[in-house]
């Protein structure tokens, strides 16, 4: 099923080049008693520099969609093109390299490496992109200072609260100034005030780099601060105006 989504509504970004293009993206999962169609042919476009919110009920396929855009998972059919590179035509190694360099991913359940300290989790991203261990740690400590997380930097993930882990995951997604940040409910574990602060930091960061931010959220208030709002429901994506009811 092909469901067209209107062109980006953002006044600011209307002239920016297309950054993400999905074409008829389908993903189904097979369970014991049959197939579950999660994404039923999604076609939409995000532009460079846009901040786009994605809303949808639990189980609607938001995380599944982020996994396809980041190349962690593969679609059953359809195409994902990011920055003119067709992810669907890449092999796993190529997708990993592309993701490492270009994408910052704030996972819904953080995915911090348990055997590394919080600071090492962040610095690793820079090291994987070719920076020396010393330089990587220096940049990491600067960011942790900015985020008021210096003390937490020396802790292992299991020694951190859920909200602290989420903020470390946020730092890890921003440390290499990626062109694309995919954020899966990045404020879900934070109190309202910290959530607002972290969201602002994320936005300042992506704005400074003219990056694109796709942010999954259950909060209409958070969604309304974005340039555009998309909803995902029954496998179909739709563009919404800021005043729709949810
Ligand atoms: N690897 C998998 N194997 C089988 N089913 C899966 C897999 N990943 C996701 N699903 C199913 O796909 C559907 C969508 O899952 P997804 O995690 O994308 O939802 P979501 O919109 O992110 O939900 P939430 O808001 O609760 O995080 C769910 O019904 C889930 O059970
Ligand atoms: Mg999810």
- Tell how far the Cα of 15 is from the centroid of ligand 2, in angstroms: 31
Q: Residue 13: count other Cβ atoms within 10 Å of its Cβ.
A: 21
pLDDT tens-digit map of 12-40: 456 789 999 999 999 999 988 899 999 99
Q: What is the pLDDT of residue 14?
A: 61
- Nearest CA to 120 out of 145, 95, 140, 97 is that of 140
- Tell how far the Cα of 235 is from the centroid of ligand 2, in angstroms: 14
Q: Which of 54, 55, 62, 236 to mutate to test the pocket of ligand 1 (most atoms within 8 A of CB)?
A: 62
Residue 162 tokens, joined? 């859920």
- Rounded mean pLDDT of the chain? 92
Map tokens 């940040």 to a residue.
Answer: 181
Nearest CA to ligand 1 atom 29: 59
Q: How far apart are the first and last CA of the chain?
A: 24
Domains for the chain: give ranges and CATH numbers: 18-240 (3.40.50.300)
Nearest CA to ligand 1 atom 10: 29
Q: How far apart are CA 84 and CA 171, in angstroms?
A: 27
User: Which residues contact ligand 1 via a Cβ below 6 A?
Assistant: 29, 38, 56, 58-64, 108
- Tell how far the Cα of 63 is from the centroid of ligand 2, in angstroms: 4
CA angle 84, 172, 193 (to 5 degrees): 110
Nearest CA to ligand 1 atom 1: 29
Q: How far apart are CA 184 and CA 106, in angstroms?
A: 6
Query: With contact defined as beta carbons under 8 Å apart, do 14 and 244 qualify?
Result: no
Mean pLDDT of 42-50: 96
- Nearest CA to 100 out of 61, 68, 63, 126 is that of 126
Ligand lying closest to the C-alpha of residue 107? 2
Closest-lying ligand 1 atom to the alpha carbon of residue 218:
25
- Nearest CA to 101 out of 65, 78, 71, 79 is that of 71
Q: Which of 38, 56, 67 to mutate to test the pocket of ligand 1 (most atoms within 8 A of CB)?
A: 38
Closest-lying ligand 1 atom to the alpha carbon of residue 65:
18
Nearest CA to ligand 1 atom 31: 59
Query: With contact defined as beta carbons under 8 Å apart, do 82 and 102 qualify?
Result: yes
Q: How far apart are CA 1 and CA 219, in angstroms?
A: 28
Q: Are strands 228-233 and 236-240 parallel, antiparallel or unpaired?
A: antiparallel
Helix H segments across 60-182?
Answer: 62-69, 92-102, 118-128, 133-146, 150-153, 162-174
Q: Residue 236: count other Cβ atoms within 10 Å of its Cβ.
A: 16
Q: Which of 27, 28, 29, 217 to mutate to test the pocket of ligand 1 (most atoms within 8 A of CB)?
A: 29
Q: Identify the band that residue 242 occupies on the pLDDT scale cut at 50, 70 and 90.
A: confident
Query: With contact defined as beta carbons under 8 Å apart, do 42 and 234 qualify?
Result: no
pLDDT tens-digit map of 151-195: 999 999 999 999 999 999 999 999 999 999 999 999 988 999 999
């Amino acid at each position: 099923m092909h469901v067209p989504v209107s062109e980006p509504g953002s006044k600011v970004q209307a002239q920016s080049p297309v950054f993400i293009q999905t074409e008829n993206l389908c993903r189904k999962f097979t369970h014991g008693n049959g197939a579950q169609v999660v994404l039923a042919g999604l076609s939409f476009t995000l532009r460079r520099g846009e901040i786009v919110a994605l809303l949808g009920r639990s189980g609607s396929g938001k995380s599944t969609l982020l996994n396809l855009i980041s190349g962690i998972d593969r679609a059953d059919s359809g195409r994902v093109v990011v920055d003119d590179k067709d992810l669907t035509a890449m092999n796993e190694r190529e997708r990993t390299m592309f993701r490492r360099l270009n994408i910052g991913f704030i996972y819904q359940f953080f995915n911090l490496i348990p055997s590394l300290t919080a600071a090492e989790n962040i610095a690793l991203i820079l090291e994987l992109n070719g920076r020396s261990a010393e330089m990587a740690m220096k940049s990491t400590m600067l960011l942790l200072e900015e985020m008021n997380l210096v003390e937490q930097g020396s802790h292992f993930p299991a020694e951190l609260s859920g909200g602290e882990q989420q903020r470390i995951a946020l730092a890890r997604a921003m440390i290499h100034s990626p062109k694309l940040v995919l954020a899966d409910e990045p404020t879900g574990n934070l109190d309202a005030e910290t959530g607002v602060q972290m969201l602002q930091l994320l936005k300042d960061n992506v704005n400074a780099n003219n990056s694109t931010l796709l942010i999954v959220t259950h909060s209409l208030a958070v969604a309304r601060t974005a340039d555009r709002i998309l909803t995902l429901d029954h496998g179909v994506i739709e563009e919404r105006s800021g005043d729709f009811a949810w």
